[in-house]
Copies of this chain bind each other. A is one copy, B any other.
Amino acid sequence: MEEKSQTAGKMKYSVVGHPLPRVDAVVKATGQAKFTEDLALPRMLYGKILRSPHHHARIVNIDTSRAQKLPGVEAVLTGKDTAGVRFGMSDGLPPDWYPLSIGKVHYQGDEVAAVAAVDEAAAEEALDLIKVEYEILPVVFDAQEAQKDGAPQVHAGTIPAPEIVWDVAGLGRKPAPYKVTNNICATFSREHGDIEKGFKESDYIQEDRFIIPATAHCAMEPHVALANFDSSGNLQMWLSHMGVETKRQWLAATMGMPLNKVRILKAYVGGAFGGKIFLHSYEFLAAFLSRLTGKPVRIALSREEVFLATSGDQRMTIDLKTGAKKDGTLVAQHMKIINDAGAYRGSSLIALRLAYSKSIPVYSIPHVKVEGVSVYTNKTPCGPKRGHGTAQVVFAIESQLDMIAEGLGVDAIKLRLKNVRKSGDIIPSGDRLASCGLRECIEKATREAGWGKAHSKKDNRGMGLGVSAAQSGVNVYPHGSSAIVRMNSDGSATLFTGAVETGQGSDTVMCQIAAEEMGLSLADIVLVSADSELCPADLGNFLMGGVFVTGEAVRLAAADAKKQLLEEASKAFEARYEDLETRNKAIYVKGSSESLASFSDVLSICQKEGGVLLGKGYRKAGPELGSGYTDAYVFTAAVAEVEVDRETGSVRLLKVIIAHDGGFSINPLTTEGQIDGQVIMGQGDILFEETLLKDGQVVNPSLMEYVIPIALDAPELKLVDVETVDPLGPFGAKQAGECARPPLFPAVANAVYNAVGIRLKDLPFTPDKILKALESQGENA
């Protein structure tokens, strides 16, 4: 049914649903597009940050006198200069992060001092001239050791309530002080049903421990901030980031400035993938140094700094216990997560919340319990990465489901199909699955893969399946997205949206939505995006709400403008409003092929009588807090086909089939780009990538040592169309940016098992691990 309406839908649309080239294609292809990295301002200073060489140490003394005397150096800062400022994704808890360390350093890479100088060489030399005296403290690198009595305390005592509150949420809620006990920085727990009862009722119980290490985002563009104070005290900032409004609110709060004096301006962003959400020290420091020196200050992190200090993916150890009936009906699932947060809380609590909320929409399991603990260690902090918290738990759940199917002797696909949720289901968090193409995803992906016939070991090749869900916008912030459409006298429309183009195609998709709703072509839309001064507040752009939340705000704004236009036309031509429609930049009587008037004709009348014609749209980022997380879930099934080299231990990813229910695809080209990107990113996460720590030290902080997939590694890739038409999304769209990476993790794990019979539960599947597993398989045999 959904598929049918979708096809019908595609036929009737002239702009959305079509694989149109990106609106930023030409400027990007010709190099005219300015990325944050490309920007420079007259009199600009270069900022650099001195980082701790120690994992845990008391700062005994900092002597900046020599650095300050160096010609060309205009400012040297230490923790005492920025002492009043703390930040971090508080999530209801007090922030634990200072822009520059105060009293002690918590990990190797922690910010200790900052300089601004007339060029990079002077700034670097100044860093060398800063003399810091440390007293080394005992370290803890293991999240389980850290919880034991007597372990070194990363953040000892109580984290006080903040002096300033980052109130983008509009909750007006000030976090209470938080007492750190045994390095536990946050906990999370949810139970639905009765987990003990569930296991009692189970015929079969499987228990496993899965381990997922930190990986990096490896965005093409490193993290850059350019701050400029004008002489009237207004701060302009260009950031490589993901959300205008959050950065702006954080900056205003930490800088102690009125919100309307802080402006985030548009620059193209060379990839983000979750790694640029946080307010990072370097961004605050650029602003702070600019105010101090009265000059623009640019801080661009080196690739090494990006690895060290910008929060990679969450390091989780997951103990998963699942109970099932003989026929494969899932009865109970208990997941215990230890999240190794590193030196600061980061988004570790949010990751636990998302691990829970994005795992429950997939299978209907009556008794579920999720417990998470987030633990401080003296390691690099963690943050969101594409499918925040999901890839980890999906790896565990979907790997284990294959083991259960094998244990029960039932088909793994049938087991999943027996338990999957469907449209209309209310899930334990309170959310309703308004659209759900999950079953179809599994059926279509496996059919496309030739599952039945290929599902037999030969030539060390194997096939595996994974299934995952994601959200389309999350109600973390009660303020959603607003958009404005202003009609111009020539019939074109100017769209104002806060959405940030990070490479995902946001600018294009927003223009398509506005154009379709208005009855315009893509060329008729003038886009003004990602500028906090020019665009209305938008909080849907990240947290997976780009299309579903922001896109719907854009559609509503366009619809509002269209309504006003039709009303004007209805008056001018004495036609019934209900009988009119817009097409091709003109007003038509419905069904008629001859237009009544062009947009510009009607606008000329409007302009003479009432001036500018403005439409506005607003979409909340999700349901009311407490009644769930999101208004739309996205589902993906991934089938991976691999070949394992028994000699070298290397795993080759041959083919990936993604069946993706992201709702209606506004632009099949950008959707495919999103899916392709996730598969390649996932391939790296599973097979090669790990931010390797040796005694707490990152030993591969460069793209020479940290291996990511290149074009030659890319598998054959097939995207299977499983679009639903979501009742709440713009034209039925949900999202396409996050759901395809997580299911690839178990798909590859299950394929490796299928190929050579080894079950790997810790990522990545590097040759040494494969060889070791094949070896112990030989021993066991």
Contacts and interface: CB of A to CB of B under 8 A. Distances in A.
Contacts of A481: 611
Interface string A5-36: 00000000000000000010011011010000
A328 interface: no
Interface in A444-487: 478-484, 486
B486 A607 contact: no
A260 B524 contact: yes
Given A232-B26, A537-B607, A608-B170, A259 B490 contact: yes
Contacts of A489: 170, 259, 479, 537
Contacts of A607: 170, 479-480, 482, 537
Nearest to A23: B232
A618 interface: yes
Contacts of A593: none
Contact of A533 (B32, B528, B612): B528
A144 interface: no
B618 A27 contact: no
A133 to B, nearest CB: 41
A260 B490 contact: yes
Contacts of A492: 258-260
Nearest to A479: B607
A468 B56 CA distance: 80
Residue with the highest number of chain B CB atoms closer than 10 Å, among A490, A604, A612, A616: A612
B537 A534 contact: no
Interface string A496-537: 000000000000000000000000000110101000011011
Interface string A210-243: 0000000000000000000011100000000000
A553 interface: yes
Nearest to A610: B618
Given A231-B26, A231-B30, A482 B611 contact: yes
Contacts of A29: 231
Interface in A573-631: 604, 607-608, 610-612, 614, 616-620
B612 A231 contact: no
A259 B479 CA distance: 35
A780 to B, nearest CB: 59
Contacts of A479: 489, 604, 607-608
Contacts of A619: 611
A725 to B, nearest CB: 24
Nearest to A604: B170
Contact of A617 (B260, B611, B617): B611
Contacts of A484: 486, 612, 614
A670 interface: no
Q: In the complex this chain forms, how many copies of it are found?
A: 2
B260 A526 contact: yes
Contacts of A735: none
Contacts of A78: none
A52 interface: no
A235 to B, nearest CB: 13
Contacts of A618: 610-612
A435 interface: no
A494 interface: yes
A304 to B, nearest CB: 30
A488 interface: yes
Contacts of A258: 490, 492, 523
Most B C-beta atoms less than 10 A away, residue of A26, A230, A486, A611: A611
A614 to B, nearest CB: 5
B231 A27 contact: yes
Nearest to A232: B26
- The list of the 8 closest CB pairs from A to B, nearest first, reads A611-B618, A482-B612, A482-B611, A260-B492, A259-B490, A536-B612, A30-B231, A170-B604
Given A29-B231, A260-B490, A612-B616, 19 more contacts: A23-B232, A32-B231, A170-B489, A170-B607, A258-B492, A259-B492, A260-B492, A260-B526, A479-B489, A483-B612, A484-B486, A486-B536, A488-B537, A489-B537, A536-B611, A537-B612, A610-B618, A611-B616, A611-B617
